[in-house]
Amino acid sequence: MNCIVFENVSKNFDGKNVLNALSFYAKQGEMLAIMGPSGCGKTTILNLILGFLKPDSGKISAPKKASVVFQEDRLFEEFSALSNVESVIPARQNKEHCADILNALGLEDLKKPVCKLSGGMKRRVAIARALAAEADFYVLDEPFKGLDEDTKDEVIAFVKERLAGKTVIIVTHQRDEAEKLNARLLLLDKNGTIIE
């Protein structure tokens, strides 16, 4: 069963055609990596999947409940790393696994306000928050940017393990990230046309 489907989807902004009759799918439990040059419509695709934008034509099918890592961290700056991650867990649910996820991503001082953390640490908190949420699918928009190579490899390995069997759409500029995640690649040209 296909989880996310684009059927001849087109989107224009101020008369400029960003996506033109784009069709692709992501199967249930599959990780799909979208790559392409800046301006080819990658983030537009994510916004359409998430329902932030409506297509001008075509049809999109996607589950309702998503967990997202945005390009910006979008954290509660005065809250601790742990509180940020716990914020996506319903009050009635056990939150013990939140600290485990943060620790697995190399974060140990979980009580410090995130405004006092480095950029790379904030990025890992944003990833941890998305991984902690129970969702129908996961959207990761350049999730590993700002991480040094060693840290990035460790985070990729954990994300791959944690999201195994989940439906994941990831936007990346690095082919090796897609390969390390064992993601199927959707490669777009500068006009938003699929070339691979």
Average pLDDT of the residues in 3-25 = 92
pLDDT at 94 over 80: no
Average pLDDT of the residues in 155-159 = 96
Q: C-alpha distances in angstroms, 54 versus 8, 13, 108, 188?
A: 13, 12, 41, 20
- pLDDT for 91 equals 74
Residues pairing with 5 in the sheet: 25, 61
CB atoms within 10 A of CB 196: 9
Distance separating alpha carbons of residues 128 and 98, to the nearest angstrom:
8
Query: pLDDT tens, 20-48?
Result: 999 999 999 999 999 999 888 999 999 99
- pLDDT for 2 equals 62
Average pLDDT of the residues in 160-189 = 95
Distance separating alpha carbons of residues 131 and 69, to the nearest angstrom:
9
The more confident residue out of 26 and 94 is 26
Query: pLDDT tens, 71-90?
Result: 999 999 999 999 999 999 88
Average pLDDT of the residues in 112-133 = 95
